[in-house]
Amino acid sequence: MSKRVMTPEDLLQLRSVTSPALSHDGEHVVYVETTLHNEKNTYSAELIRASLANPDDYQYLTQGEHINRVPRWSPKADVLAFLSNRTGTTQLYVLGSWGEPKQLTDEKKGVTDFRWSPDGSRIAYSSTQFPEAEKEEDKPEPLVVNKMKYKSDASGFWQGEYVHIFTVDIDSGTHTQLTDGELSYTLFDWTADSEQLIVASVNQENTDFIFTNDLILLSVDSKEQTQLTDQTHVISDASASPDGKYLAVRAHEREYDNATQNEIYLLELATNTWTKLTGDWDVQLGPVVAADFLQNTVDPGLVWAGDSLSLTFLVSEQGNVGIYQITVDGQREAILTGNQHVYGYSISSDGRTLVAGISESGHPGDLYNVSPGTDEQTRLTTSNDSFLEEVEVVQAEEVRFKSEEGHELQGWLLKPAGFSDGESYPLVVEIHGGPHAMYANSYLHEFQTLAARGFAVLYINPRGSLGYGQEFVNAVRGDYGGGDYRDIMAAVDYVLGQNAWIDETRLGVTGGSYGGFMTNWIVGHTNRFKAAVTQRSISNWTSFYGVSDIGYYFTEWQIQADLDDTDKLWKHSPLAYVNQIETPLLILHGEKDYRCPIEQAEQLYIALKRREKTTTFIRFPESNHELSRSGKPSLRLRRLEAIGEWFEQYL
């Protein structure tokens, strides 16, 4: 039986299977299955427990129309903690043999993260706390702004809130607030004795020009804080060894601002001795994949083995994400690698049992029981099997070649669904955001819908992408529209030369965020493309400097200019080349995008229309910068349809 082709609406049929959590006996795994619902325009996420010995033996632990996520087992009992928004805000729950979830918190603004104490008696959690004086809902108040970091694409305008750390006793239900004041804290872990928490904060009154944070030990009894660093690092994770001797820390020293790769440091607590374990390893630690399908993924961070002699963690390199292990004396070993995207995992303390979430370009993702260090895998989930039996999913073909400047470039080519030799097909070039991100051997729904419409899809990692070493990721800074543009065009030339079936007169280009900037730049510098779609883009660095939630520092880091050098800002602005744009351009933008505010799209649209160029502007209500990944389902579908229809019209 022939399969039908993919549609945007198929996003509603697919299930995202993520966040595996192994039980202590190694016999079961709990995971999250996320579904999109068009009728109510919402998401739901359920917790499912499955047997490793018999994956068909599974049980839904939660059911309904809520989002239940981040399952974590107690270290000492068969009790599961998780986050759920079933009351309207995200709160902390536990589930045990009693069968019904028990709510542990009732924080007004919800719970953002949590960690079990090693003795299983308490859970530490973080929660956003607002000033005592609450505003009346029906009376709008002016927003008084006294800081530069006053808004966020994720959370909106800052109104005096701070993130603080709490504990809750499992037996008594007693809550204790451990931090207060005008500081925010990030929760990482407990120390092995269950007496202290490992947290991070910025101990500065004015953080507008502070981009590092400090590692702190926080006593859960006295609330005393011991600062372990002195604003020298950007710390993204820390975990304590089970024997209490070490802290493992993932961080970097901002040598290349936000283009700096992470390192793993080992802190010996007794001597306060720091050792960089990964100093000779030129890779990106942690997952950095640009994708649009998976929901409720969790980076496991730095995971200690039970004997305190090694750590496991995710590594992004060469278009793949895999699991590696490093010992306390710096010896590295690959645990799970290959042409795939490992988007999460759970490993037993003895390292013998590993459950990993794995996606490939032709498969949305499943959980697998993996024999560490071998190729032996048993698939545990089949959430999308019936769908995949009916719908054609195209497997990407890897593209590798050397640029004229001598560096190797990697990308992938999707042939059109139903490809037939002897036929001629148009090509759409996709450009990821960041720019410090990475396309990978992973499923991308947008690309599959374009292939289903008869387009070939080319996507590459140009200079500036993570996964290819520090020099490569740093190469884009101060050169937007230079070497990165040449890399993308070289990729187009290469695939045209290798694939005679691609019609070079029918080329399209699209991308979002930095990819939107590059789309704007490309159509202002060549007329080779017959259609383009720019999404949540940047068009004018001069105005971006003041309107983006990250504008002033991101512009200085990436363009390496500020308002004292408007000539350079304008030189790198696609709006400066609007007279040269002849390509029909569709502009897509979210109304509530604070990362690349919608005025960037408005300027470009008006400039094009004033010059009577072919363009259409679609504004997406209630949508921030994450529209394509986590926006309202109906708007995500409308976006996919608009992209496909534009390319069908002009290619």
32-73 pLDDT, tens per residue?
Answer: 999 999 888 999 999 999 999 998 889 999 988 899 999 999
Biggest CA-to-CA distance, the chain: 75
Q: What is the pLDDT of residues 322-339, one digit of tens each?
A: 999 999 999 999 999 999
Question: What is the Cα–Cα distance from 551 to 520, expressed in whole angstroms?
Answer: 18
pLDDT tens by residue, 69-121: 999 999 988 899 999 999 999 999 999 876 789 999 999 999 999 999 999 99
Beta strand 58-60 with 284-285: parallel, antiparallel or unpaired? unpaired
Sign of the CA dihedral with 350 first, then 353, 357, and 358 last: positive
Q: What is the pLDDT of residue 254?
A: 96
| Residue 134 binned pLDDT confidence (cut-offs 50, 70, 90) | low
Rounded CA-CA distance 576/524 in Å is: 9
Whole-number Cα distances in Å, 268 to 188, 233, 248, 561: 17, 17, 9, 41
Q: What pLDDT sits at residue 372?
A: 80
Q: Which phi and psi angles does 509 have, rounded to 5°? A: -145, 140
pLDDT reading at 177 higher than 70:
yes
Whether 239 contacts 301, CB under 8 Å: yes
* CA–CA gap between residue 517 and residue 36 (Å, rounded): 29
Catalytic (active site) residue 222: no
How much is the pLDDT for 403? 87
Nearest to 449 by CA among 638, 199, 237: 638
Instruction: Note the pLDDT of residue 569.
Output: 98
Q: Cα–Cα distance between 381 and 545 in angstroms, integer?
A: 46
Band (pLDDT 50/70/90 cuts) for residue 138 is confident
User: Which of 293, 337, 298 minimizes the C-alpha distance to 319?
Assistant: 337
Q: What is the band of 140 on the pLDDT scale with cuts at 50, 70, 90?
A: confident
Question: What is the number of residues in the chain?
Answer: 651
**CA separation for the pair 253, 268 (Å, rounded):** 19
The per-residue pLDDT for 408 is 95
Radius of gyration of the chain (CA): 25
Q: Which of 513, 539, 543, 573 is catalytic?
A: 513
**Angle of the 445-452 helix axis to the 633-650 helix axis, nearest 10:** 40
Check the CA dihedral 181-185-191-193 and report its sign. positive
Distances (CA, A) of 464 to 256, 482, 496, 626, 627: 12, 11, 24, 21, 23
Domains belonging to the chain, first-starting first, are: 68-133+157-231 (2.120.10.30), 394-650 (3.40.50.1820)
Band (136; pLDDT cuts 50, 70, 90):
low
Per DSSP (E only), the strands in 131-271 are 151-152, 156-157, 162-169, 175-177, 185-190, 196-201, 214-219, 225-227, 234-240, 246-252, 263-268
Sheet holding 111-116, edge to edge: 111-116, 122-129, 162-169, 175-177
Q: Which amino acid is residue 544, in one-letter code?
A: F
pLDDT tens-digit profile of 358-392? Answer: 999 999 999 999 988 777 889 999 999 999 999 99
Nearest to 267 by CA among 239, 246, 241: 246
pLDDT band at 133 (very low <50, low <70, confident <90, very high): low
Mutual orientation of helices 514-523 and 483-498 as an angle, nearest 10°? 70
CB 347 within 8 A of CB 353: yes
CA distance 461 to 484: 9
pLDDT in tens, 221-256: 999 999 999 999 999 999 999 999 999 999 999 999
Say yes or no to pLDDT of 550 above 70: yes
Cis peptide before 574 (omega within 30 of 0): no
- Cβ-proximal residues to 237 (8 Å cutoff; 6+ apart), any chain: 188, 249, 250, 286, 299, 301, 302
262-297: pLDDT as tens digits: 999 999 999 999 999 999 999 999 999 999 999 999
Query: pLDDT per residue over 427-439, tens digit each?
Result: 999 999 999 999 9
**Which residues lie below 8 Å from residue 391, measured CB to CB, with a gap of 6+?**
3, 4, 5, 6, 10
CB-based contact 370:376 (threshold 8 Å)? yes
Q: Looking at 432, 436, 589, 625, which residue is catalytic? A: 625
What digits encode the pLDDT tens for the residues 553-576? 999 999 999 999 999 999 999 999
Check whether 135 has a pLDDT greater than 70: no
Distance from C-alpha of 374 to C-alpha of 376, rounded to nearest angstrom: 5
* Residue 190 CA neighbour count, 13 Å, CB half: 22
Residue 187 has pLDDT above 70, yes or no: yes
pLDDT digit string (tens) for 574-625? 999 999 999 999 999 999 999 999 999 999 999 999 999 999 999 999 999 9
pLDDT tens-digit series, residues 446-484: 999 999 999 999 999 999 999 999 999 999 999 999 999
378 sits in which H/E element: strand 377-379
Rounded CA gap, 451 and 458, in Å?
10
The DSSP bridge pattern shows strands 42-51 and 28-37 to be antiparallel
Question: Residue 441's CB: how many other CB atoms inside 10 A?
Answer: 22
Q: Which residue, among 417, 277, 387, 389, has the nearest Cα to 333 in the 3D structure?
A: 277
Question: Distance (Å, rounded) from C-alpha 616 to C-alpha 632?
Answer: 22
Q: Is the dihedral of CA 392, 393, 397, 403 positive or negative?
A: positive
Contact status, residue 15 vs residue 34, Cβ threshold 8 Å: yes
Active site residue 572: no
